[in-house]
A and B are shown apart, each in its own frame.
Chain A
Amino acid sequence: MKRHSLITRIWHWINAAALIVLFMSGLNISNAHRFLYWGNYGFDPADAWLSVMRFPAWATIPQRYDLAEARDWHNTSAWVFAVGLLIMWIASLITKHFWRDIATSPRDWSPVSLIKAIKEHLPGRSTPHDRPYNPVQRIAYGAVLGIFLPMMVFSGLAISPGFEVSAPWLVDILGGRQSARSLHFIFAWALFAFFVVHLAMVLASKPLTQIARMITGGSREESHDA
Chain B
Amino acid sequence: MPEIKRRALLAGLAALPAAACTELAETGPAGDLFDAAENWHRTAHRALANRQALAPEYTPEERSPDIRGNGTRTIETPEYRAAQAEGFANWRLSVSGLVQNPLSLTMADMRALPQRTQITRHDCVEGWSAIAEWSGPQLSDLLDMAKVSEEANFIVFRCADVLYDRDYYESVDMVDAYHPQTIIAHELNGAPLPEKNGAPLRVRIERQLGYKHAKYLTAIEAVASFEDIYAGKGGFWEDVGDYQWYAGI
A residues within 8 Å of B by Cβ?
A: 20-21, 24, 29-30, 32-33, 35, 37, 40-44, 56-64, 66-69, 71-73, 75-76, 79, 159-168, 171, 177-178, 181
User: Which residues of chain B have C-beta atoms less than 8 A from A44's C-beta?
Assistant: 65-66, 68
Q: How many residues of B contact A (CB 8 A)?
A: 57
Interchain CB contact under 8 A, A58 and B62: no
> A42: which of B125, B128, B244 is its contact (CB, 8 Å)?
B128
Interchain CB contact under 8 A, A177 and B121: yes
Assembly CA distance A32 to B70 (angstroms)? 13
User: Which residues of chain B have C-beta atoms less than 8 A from A21's C-beta?
Assistant: 17, 21
Q: Does B98 contact A (CB under 8 A)?
A: no
Interchain CB contact under 8 A, B121 and A181: no
Q: How far is the CB of B130 from chain A (nearest CB, A)?
A: 5
User: Which residues of chain A have C-beta atoms less than 8 A from B125's C-beta?
Assistant: 32, 67, 71
Which of A29, A37, A41 has the most chain B CB atoms closer than 10 A to its own CB?
A41
Assembly CA distance A220 to B38 (angstroms)? 42
Interchain CB contact under 8 A, B209 and A161: yes
Assembly CA distance A61 to B21 (angstroms)? 7
Q: Beyond A58-B7, A60-B18, A73-B21, is A162–B129 a contact (Cβ under 8 Å)?
A: no
Interchain CB contact under 8 A, A165 and B130: no
Q: What are 20 A-B residue pairs whose CB atoms fall within 8 Å in the complex?
A: A33-B124, A33-B128, A40-B62, A56-B5, A56-B7, A57-B5, A59-B14, A61-B18, A62-B18, A63-B18, A68-B237, A69-B22, A72-B37, A72-B38, A161-B207, A162-B248, A165-B49, A166-B49, A171-B56, A177-B121
Interchain CB contact under 8 A, B249 and A160: yes
| Other A-B pairs, 15, CB within 8 Å; known A20-B17, A68-B242, A166-B49 | A40-B121, A61-B21, A62-B22, A69-B22, A72-B34, A73-B21, A73-B25, A76-B34, A79-B40, A160-B41, A161-B209, A165-B45, A167-B48, A178-B128, A181-B127
Interchain CB contact under 8 A, B209 and A43: no
Assembly CA distance A54 to B53 (angstroms)? 37
Interchain CB contact under 8 A, A162 and B21: no
Q: Does B208 contact A (CB under 8 A)?
A: yes
Interchain CB contact under 8 A, B41 and A162: yes
> A32: which of B65, B127, B207 is its contact (CB, 8 Å)?
B127
Cβ-closest chain A residue relative to B212: A161
Q: How far is the CB of B14 from chain A (nearest CB, A)?
A: 6
B residues within 8 Å of A by Cβ?
A: 2, 4-5, 7, 11, 14-15, 17-19, 21-22, 25, 33-34, 37-38, 40-42, 44-45, 48-49, 53-56, 58, 62, 64-68, 121, 123-131, 206-209, 237, 241-244, 246, 248-249
Q: How far is the CB of A26 from chain B (nearest CB, A)?
A: 11
What DSSP secondary structure best describes chain A's contact surface? Answer: helix
Interchain CB contact under 8 A, B130 and A43: yes
User: Which residues of chain B have C-beta atoms less than 8 A from A35's C-beta?
Assistant: 128
Assembly CA distance A39 to B56 (angstroms)? 14
Assembly CA distance A164 to B129 (angstroms)? 14
User: Which residues of chain B have C-beta atoms less than 8 A from A37's C-beta?
Assistant: 128
Assembly CA distance A161 to B248 (angstroms)? 5
Cβ-closest chain B residue relative to A58: B11
Q: Beyond A32-B127, A63-B19, A160-B249, is A58–B207 a contact (Cβ under 8 Å)?
A: no
Interchain CB contact under 8 A, B25 and A62: yes
Interchain CB contact under 8 A, A43 and B241: no
User: Which residues of chain B have C-beta atoms less than 8 A from A167's C-beta?
Assistant: 48
Assembly CA distance A20 to B15 (angstroms)? 11
Interchain CB contact under 8 A, A62 and B21: yes
Cβ-closest chain A residue relative to B70: A43
